[in-house]
A and B are shown apart, each in its own frame.
With several copies, the nearest count.
Chain A
Amino acid sequence: MKPFHTLHILNKRPGHPGFKSCLSCLESRDALLLTENGVLALADKGLTLEGAVYALSADLVARAIPEDASIANVIDYDEMVALTIRANRVISW
């Protein structure tokens, strides 16, 4: 498991100003984890996400949003904990 620089945890809906702030601070060595209403990004046709993207399974299942592996790696809370450990730094937006 390669470490990455920053794990960005994003729980905002795609229309929220914080969603854009978070994306503008992503760089190639970072990873993005979508949680809560952040997972709506996977259903939003106006958005394209790039790079290492993860999404919480429980939040997807609750909202009936298809687990599209071409957009995001779908993970559980155990893997979320593991991601926070792999990262040198964690930012919750």
Chain B
Amino acid sequence: MSSPALSFTLVITGAPYSTQAPQTALAFARATVAAGHRIDRVFLYGDGVYLASNLASPPSDEANWSHQWRAFLEEKAVPGVACIASALRRGIVDDNEKQRYELPASNIAAPFSIAGLGEWVEGVARSDRVIYFHGGN
């Protein structure tokens, strides 16, 4: 690519299985990095937070979108953030929330972390491009 490197924030609002959003976003993210651009963060919002569960076990001959995303984020050192309000409603919690709400377990998959919408606002204010991957139904 001859164009200068830009920074991206990717926002995923569609869940795996209910939508194709996590898949399309992953293919786009790989292409973004391959072209020499930087991904500031991947922000999971609404039903998109289901992607951060560490308990999904699809049949072994099917893609595991959560696994694939986690591997990508780790390899490329890209922060993955699930919106705290969306996540709490939908039962995606880290150890802090587990303790605070006295829940029987936590289920967020590393390297995903939980944070507020401020992370997304930061993307809107500072990333060169904010690209949304919504559900299509």
Number of A residues contacting the other chain (C-beta, 8 Å)? 22
* B1-49 interface with A by 8 A CB criterion: 1, 3, 6, 20-21, 24, 27-28, 30-32, 34-35, 37
Determine if B20 and A81 form an interchain contact, defined as CB atoms under 8 angstroms apart: no
CA distance A80 to B133 in the complex (A): 13
A70 within 8 A of B: no
Output the residue of A35, A56, A90, A93 with the most chain B CB within 10 A: A35
Number of A-B residue pairs at CB separation under 8 A: 51
Among residues of B, the one whose C-beta sits closest to the C-beta of A78 is: B31
B132 within 8 A of A: yes
Per-position binary interface string of chain A over residues 3-46, scored 1 when its CB falls under 8 Å from any chain B CB and 0 otherwise: 00000010111001000000000000000000111100000000
Contact partner of B31 among A35, A80, A92, CB < 8 A?
A: A80
Residues of B within 8 A of A (CB): 1, 3, 6, 20-21, 24, 27-28, 30-32, 34-35, 37, 129-134, 136-137
